[in-house]
Amino acid sequence: MESAEIRRRWLRFFEERGHTVVPSASLIADDPTLLLVPAGMVPFKPYFLGEVKPPYERATSVQKCVRTPDIEEVGKTTRHGTFFQMCGNFSFGDYFKEGAIKYAWELLTGSLADGGYALDPERLWITVYEQDDEAERIWRDVIGVPAERIQRLGMGPNFWSMGVPGPCGPCSEVHYDRGPEFGVEGGPAVNDERYVEIWNLVFMQYERGEGTGKEDFEILGDLPNKNIDTGLGLERLAMILQGVQNMFEIDTSRVVIEKATELTGIAYGKAHDSDVSLRVVSDHMRTSVMLIGDGVTPGNEGRGYVLRRIMRRAVRNMRLLGATGPVVGELVDTVIRSMADQYPELESERERIETVALAEEAAFLKTLKAGTNILDSAVSETKATGGTVLTGDKAFLLHDTWGFPIDLTLEMAAEQGLAVDQDGFRRLMKEQRERAKADARAKKTGHADMGAYREIADRAGATEFTGYADTEGESR
Ligand code: ATP
Ligand code: MG
Ligand code: MG
Ligand code: MG
């Protein structure tokens, strides 16, 4: 089943069941606490928080998402992209736990003729929050999932909150058993690559009090209106329905790998390292095109920096695969053609997207060689003195003068067996920002909105470096 068909079936299924179809929001979150949209619920947040009365009781969407914190996983696990699409169904004070569970089961296991995805029910495993007896009972007694395929997990994976006072509640996740070729048995609690998570159901039923983080807070009581928020990864379901081993091998991603092969002569499936690079290129080019499509331009802060990191990493992986000239033009074209079916605006925005992408590639290629030389000599110096850590100064110089995003430096240093003093790097970045702020104040430009923008950008920039607290709060 093609990705576009998975999406159509999703929306039709929920539309037929009284849900309003809501188009994907832009990846640029309309929310000062977030750089980019990491989950399908973000556009509905004001309804869940009770700030705005929802115009419907049920909604469904297929939301474009970017998760920068997953960047390290890309190409290494089979199931993490920086860009993916989250299919969701939402209930605002309408149906709750039993309704959501029944819909999930019906859609996943329903026959193709009935509009379902026809997954084999015996391959589905369920996790519930360890104290959520009700969810377990529904899966077991109402749906009929055998007790041995339901596992209880703790708060980390199976309890959701936004990290601030407001709604919170347990989750229940549906996983698909891909079989023994993906490793040991024992369910999702033991092996999350074999039992791949496809769908997360969040039951917002409690009011959360003050406290920090994901686990350390008080539950004040029940919410007056209980809500449902679910998310299913479209690419993960495509991977299963298309019978491929990896989300980068599905219809919309595979063509990008093929284009990268054509440009480098390196076939997919030849060697572990080149396969990882091909998957990184496929993912990162898709992410770049979708970000530029939504109006992000490469820069040194905030979302511009996310885009820059991702695009430069794609270009460098193409170099590792042996490309010597420019490659971005053809890769962008391939991504646009593979995604335009679902996002027609990519075609109408083609010229702008290509111009931005080509300019970024050109800027990077100009400094890549010189920066690589600087890095290589810094590595040699460090090794000559018996060190194992590249200094923060060097990482900062590479960033500031040669346009090397920090994870590029990390990656290139690691390839030569060195770590990087990231704390030192962050300190220098912070100092630089403070200097810039002081300069701006000294100039007394008096542009109040610019100041507000700076503050948001600074906060966002800091978030990007310090473990992604904000985006992680959204990740359920
Ligand atoms: P995982 O545990 O596999 O990292 P998650 O628990 O972080 O997934 P959720 O936050 O529950 O994911 O998001 C809902 C759904 O979105 C997941 O069940 C999965 O299908 C999909 N998803 C999440 N992260 C990614 C990603 N990086 N790439 C592709 N799909 C994803
Ligand atoms: Mg999970
Ligand atoms: Mg999850
Ligand atoms: Mg995750």
For the stretch 302-347, pLDDT in tens is: 999 999 999 999 999 999 999 999 999 999 999 999 999 899 999 9
* Closest Cα to atom 3 of ligand 1: 197
Over residues 126-151, mean pLDDT: 97
Q: What's residue 444's pLDDT? A: 61
Q: List, for residues 258-313, the tens digit of each pLDDT value.
A: 999 999 999 999 999 999 999 999 999 999 999 999 999 999 889 999 999 999 99
Give CA separation, 353 vs 212, 288, 336, in Å. 40, 9, 9
Q: Answer for the pair 245, 78: CB distance below 8 angstroms, yes or no.
A: yes
Mutation test residue for ligand 1: of 82, 84, 279, the one with most atoms within 8 Å of CB = 84
Q: How high does pLDDT run on average in the chain?
A: 90
For residue 31, name the pLDDT band (cuts at 50, 70, 90).
confident
Q: What's residue 445's pLDDT? A: 52
Check whether 171 has a pLDDT greater than 90: yes
For residue 122, name the pLDDT band (cuts at 50, 70, 90).
very high
- Beta carbons within 10 angstroms of residue 446's beta carbon: 7
3-241 in CATH: which number?
3.30.930.10
Tell me if 81 CB under 6 Å of ligand 1: yes
Tell me if 249 CB under 6 Å of ligand 1: no
Mutation test residue for ligand 1: of 197, 248, 280, the one with most atoms within 8 Å of CB = 197
Higher pLDDT, 266 or 436: 266
The number of angstroms, rounded, from the C-alpha of 81 to the middle of its chain's C-alpha atoms is: 6
Handedness of CA 71, 77, 83, 89 (dihedral sign): negative
Over residues 7-34, mean pLDDT: 95
Tell me if 476 CB under 6 Å of ligand 1: yes
Q: List, for residues 63-102, the tens digit of each pLDDT value.
A: 999 999 999 889 889 999 999 999 999 999 999 999 999 9
Q: What's residue 474's pLDDT? A: 33
ipTM exceeds 0.90 = yes
Q: Rounded to the nearest whole angstrom, what is the distance from the C-alpha of residue 353 to the centroid of ligand 1?
A: 27
* Closest Cα to atom 22 of ligand 1: 233
For residue 192, name the pLDDT band (cuts at 50, 70, 90).
very high
Q: Answer for the pair 346, 64: CB distance below 8 angstroms, yes or no.
A: no
Tell me if 45 CB under 6 Å of ligand 1: no
Over residues 211-220, mean pLDDT: 78
Ligand nearest to the CA of 81: 1
Check whether 456 has a pLDDT greater than 60: no
Check whether 460 has a pLDDT greater than 80: no
Tell me if 188 CB under 6 Å of ligand 1: no
pTM as predicted = 0.88
* Closest Cα to atom 30 of ligand 1: 233
Identify the bridge partners of residue 230 per DSSP, sorted by sequence position: 201
Over residues 208-217, mean pLDDT: 78
Mutation test residue for ligand 1: of 27, 34, 236, the one with most atoms within 8 Å of CB = 236
Over residues 206-223, mean pLDDT: 82
Query: Taking each helix axis from N to C terminus, what angle separates 406-415 and 302-320, rounded to the nearest 10 degrees?
Result: 30
* Closest Cα to atom 5 of ligand 1: 476
d(Cα 237, Cα 233) in Å, to the nearest integer?
Answer: 6
Q: What's residue 217's pLDDT? A: 81
Q: Rounded to the nearest whole angstrom, what is the distance from the C-alpha of residue 173 to the centroid of ligand 3?
A: 6
Domain boundaries, the chain: 3-241, 250-420
Higher pLDDT, 402 or 108: 108
Q: What's residue 327's pLDDT? A: 97
- Name 37's Cβ contacts closer than 8 Å, sequence gap at least 6: 25, 26, 27, 28, 29, 43, 63, 64, 65, 66
pLDDT above 90 covers a percentage of the chain that reads 75
For residue 448, name the pLDDT band (cuts at 50, 70, 90).
very low
Q: Tell how strand 419-420 and strand 389-390 pair up.
A: parallel
